[in-house]
Amino acid sequence: MKLNPDNYYTEAANYEYMSVSQYKDFAGSYGRRGCEARAMANLRGEWSEAPSLAMMVGSYVDAYFESGTSFGTFQTSHPDMFRQDGGLRAPYERANEIIRRIERDDFMMQCLSGEKQVIMTGEVFGIPWKIKMDSYHPGKVIVDLKVVESIRKLKWVKDIGYLDFIRYWGYDVQGAIYQEVVYQNTGKKLPFYIAAATKEPVPEIQVIHVQDIFLRQAMASVAYNINRVKEVKSGKEPPGRCEICGYCLDTRVLHCPVGLLDITSEV
Ligand SMILES: [Zn+2]
């Protein structure tokens, strides 16, 4: 199957190719636990979570910088963006402030001025992967735009300690896979930048180089998890249920009571 913008997100493409978001759906990141049962239901088209308003702010900013027709398409497919008087609802006003802040910065704009939404495929750990890059500068750098809560605030992870937002949300995994797939297609190993902007009252912007040492660590974590993901996706192993995600709650079937201590054992 040859991928293009029209079939990139289809069920068939998701079955044939692994993507970073699909991988994280199975294996999780520090910030969001994976759930194999939910990942399989996603693949079958049986489960999808409506994006939160906070997530829509990021999608709006993404669509704006994709340019072309995607921004117009975004507006027509999200009539809920507008108030009854025709004005933008508050979260989208915030999104516009973020956009204006980014546009005031020449370096950030330069980083975002590469080829938009470039699709490539490659083979990593014996399976085909697909990637779609926000801003690709051939021979120079791969840039991904992220609209985040905070750039500097650390996130607490049990047994690990405090983590930056990049490793917390598995964006280092994204960089590792993107770098490898671009390398397979071009023979060039490019640096990976996150162009980040925050939703804070005064948006903070930063372009962060996720150095290769972190990409190698991320790739090692994929190496550790990928066999299990492959076995579940191919149907060789039954998917495990996390019992705490929306899909697991929605499909839970009760058979008998649980003990008092069991209700908090997952926390
Ligand atoms: Zn689950």
Structural domain contains residue 89: no
> Stretch 142-150: mean pLDDT, rounded?
97
> Stretch 117-126: mean pLDDT, rounded?
98
Q: How far is the CA of 230 from the centre of ligand 1 (A)?
A: 18
Structural domain contains residue 30: yes
Is residue 189 within 8 A of residue 183, CB to CB? The reply is: yes
Nearest residue to 214 (alpha-carbon basis) of 161, 168, 159: 168
Give residue 73's pLDDT.
77
Structural domain contains residue 144: yes
Q: Number of C-alpha atoms within 13 angstroms, CB side, residue 156?
A: 1
Q: How far is the CA of 46 from the centre of ligand 1 (A)?
A: 13
Give residue 7's pLDDT.
96
CA distances from 1 to 7, 40, 155, 234 (A): 9, 20, 39, 18
Nearest residue to 49 (alpha-carbon basis) of 35, 63, 62, 29: 35
Q: How far is the CA of 243 from the centre of ligand 1 (A)?
A: 5
| Domain CATH for 197 | 3.90.320.10
Q: Is the pLDDT of residue 8 over 60?
A: yes
Give residue 124's pLDDT.
98
Q: Is the pLDDT of residue 157 over 70?
A: yes
Q: Which domain holds residue 195?
A: 11-49+105-264
Q: How far is the CA of 52 from the centre of ligand 1 (A)?
A: 18
Give residue 267's pLDDT.
54
Q: How far is the CA of 28 from the centre of ligand 1 (A)?
A: 11
**pLDDT per residue over 34-60, tens digit each?**
999 999 999 999 998 888 888 889 999
Give residue 85's pLDDT.
87
Q: How far is the CA of 39 from the centre of ligand 1 (A)?
A: 8
Q: What is the pTM of this model?
A: 0.93
Give residue 52's pLDDT.
84
Give residue 74's pLDDT.
78
Q: Is the pLDDT of residue 184 over 80?
A: yes
Instruction: Kindly indicate the confidence band of residue 84, based on its pLDDT and cuts at 50, 70 and 90.
Output: confident
Instruction: Kindly indicate the confidence band of residue 69, based on its pLDDT and cuts at 50, 70 and 90.
Output: low
CA-based torsion, 249, 252, 257, 262: positive or negative: negative
What domain count does the chain have?
1
**pLDDT per residue over 24-36, tens digit each?**
999 999 999 999 9
Structural domain contains residue 3: no
Q: Is the pLDDT of residue 248 over 60?
A: yes
Structural domain contains residue 235: yes
Structural domain contains residue 1: no
Q: How far is the CA of 22 from the centre of ligand 1 (A)?
A: 14
Q: CA angle 207-106-191, nearest 5°?
A: 35
